[in-house]
Amino acid sequence: MSDTSLSRRRFLRAAGFGAVALTLGPQILIGSRAGAAGHGGITFACRGDGRVVAIDEAREAVSATIETGGRGGTLGSLTPSGDKLFVANNAADQRAVSVIDARSLRHITNVETGNRPKHPVVTPDGRLVAVNHSGLDGRAFRVAFINTADNRVAHTAELPVENTAHTGDFSMHGSFSPDGRLFAIGSYADNRVFVIDTGDGYRVTPLNVTGNPHYFDWYGREMWVTVEFGEPKGAESRCEIHVFDMRRPAAGARAQVIRMPCSHGEAENPARVEGHHGSFSNDGAKFLVCNRGGSPFEGTSVTVIDRANRRIEKHVISTANGAGHAYVSPDGRYALLTQYGDTRLPILDLREMRIVNTLNAGTGGHMGHATFSADSRKAFVSNRRADEVLVVDLPGQRITRRIATAPSGQAQGQLVNRYYNVFERVVNPHLG
């Protein structure tokens, strides 16, 4: 709702599906499949140019390039069984989610859901996919629930919008409670959280917050909401984490608001204050939240909060600009601090709570997403501006290979190789 947020969203919309100077047929399969989808054998690179690239993690090479027939598909989710990948086509003229057979590596169908599908998220039992939308349908933004068995929309929730003059994305990311009953999503137009109870006739509970609700993680029925900053934005604005007790969804009492500290450089310039993703560690003991900053993405802070007492345990200054996500390795040892404004990749040691190394890709930038091998020995990291995926040797803490996903276009988006509820945690995706 601020000018800074608006310019940032315009940048992301343009970057997510930039033009690509590559012509392919409807579908190309290359090489052979190794491992099981959703269990560390294949990393899917979701691209904004209408393609999903399947990377064989053992061979560290492209296995297939899959045409989706859509555009802007930079976010996707696997089912818990690993048999299907759902990709949201988010470009300005798109209304469908692409469904991919994650075992045969073939496009199945496109499911129409609404105006600019944003981020598909699958229930813990794999039965439904919730899809929010960046644009409005009428005077509401929509959450569509797709039945994974037949790839049809089972239910649509139309969430009311008061500030229809809002420009930019109307919603960003949602997530499910661990029992799969509650789905939470935020309205950027009205600074409001909607909680949809799928077990009670899709009853909707609205909850007001102080700014744009960007990200949601859960511990049992505790819902932790990362709010970009308290509005109106000023010198004292900070990223905020709003913790709600959702044991009785219709009540939705907020238990606490935690304000994220800033570095000296961030405090000097309010444009550098904008929280992005906050998520729990694998064991749920720590909550890690990143301050990315608004465009041109110069935030560097990562705050670690103790979940049990809700106190700030550590404030870490990242060695890269635009800190966006703290991707936790399956063994829980490291968090890769992926970012939006740099070629560097800080490695946070979660035992010592300090940055122990910073890798540098040297070229490209916006290294936003990561996956890990099951044994935590390898990481695969996206480098959007170079249209590549980097292979990182985690024990050796070095980049060992670059895998090109397209010759040009800056369309490389999220990487996915397992079921998740939040990007950054694939071990114990549901806690509490």
d(CA 11, CA 295) in angstroms, rounded, equals: 8
Q: What does the radius of gyration of the chain's CA atoms come to, in whole angstroms?
A: 20
Assess contact for 175 and 184: CB atoms under 8 A.
yes
pLDDT digits (tens, 9 = 90+) for 152-162: 999 999 999 99
- In this predicted structure, what is the pLDDT of residue 40? 54
175, pLDDT greater than 80: yes
d(CA 182, CA 392) in angstroms, rounded, equals: 36
* Average of per-residue pLDDT across 70-94: 98
- In this predicted structure, what is the pLDDT of residue 238? 97
d(CA 368, CA 361) in angstroms, rounded, equals: 13
Task: Name, in order, each residue with C-beta under 8 angstroms of 430's C-beta and a sequence gap of 6 or more.
Answer: 124, 176, 177, 178, 218, 421
d(CA 121, CA 136) in angstroms, rounded, equals: 19
d(CA 312, CA 126) in angstroms, rounded, equals: 35
DSSP string, 172-198: ---EE-TTS-EEEEEETTTTEEEEEET
3-418 CATH: 2.130.10.10
Assess contact for 305 and 286: CB atoms under 8 A.
yes
d(CA 381, CA 393) in angstroms, rounded, equals: 11
d(CA 341, CA 242) in angstroms, rounded, equals: 26
Domains in the chain: boundaries: 3-418
pLDDT digits (tens, 9 = 90+) for 384-396: 999 999 999 999 9
pLDDT digits (tens, 9 = 90+) for 204-237: 999 999 999 999 999 999 999 999 999 999 999 9
pLDDT digits (tens, 9 = 90+) for 20-62: 222 233 333 333 333 333 455 999 999 999 999 999 999 999 9
Beta strands in 253-409 (DSSP E): 253-259, 275-280, 286-291, 301-306, 311-317, 323-328, 334-339, 344-349, 354-360, 370-372, 378-383, 388-393, 398-404
Distances (CA, A) of 121 to 68, 287, 426: 18, 20, 13
Assess contact for 229 and 273: CB atoms under 8 A.
yes
pLDDT digits (tens, 9 = 90+) for 305-337: 999 999 999 999 999 999 999 999 999 999 999
pLDDT digits (tens, 9 = 90+) for 177-207: 999 999 999 999 999 999 999 999 999 999 9
- In this predicted structure, what is the pLDDT of residue 251? 76
Paired sense of beta strands 192-197 and 203-208, if any:
antiparallel
d(CA 164, CA 101) in angstroms, rounded, equals: 37
137, pLDDT greater than 50: yes
Task: Give which of 46, 277, 77, 48 is closest to 172, Cα–Cα.
Answer: 277
- In this predicted structure, what is the pLDDT of residue 296? 95
- In this predicted structure, what is the pLDDT of residue 28? 39
d(CA 16, CA 306) in angstroms, rounded, equals: 34
253, pLDDT greater than 60: yes
408, pLDDT greater than 90: no
Give the predicted TM-score (pTM) of the model.
0.91
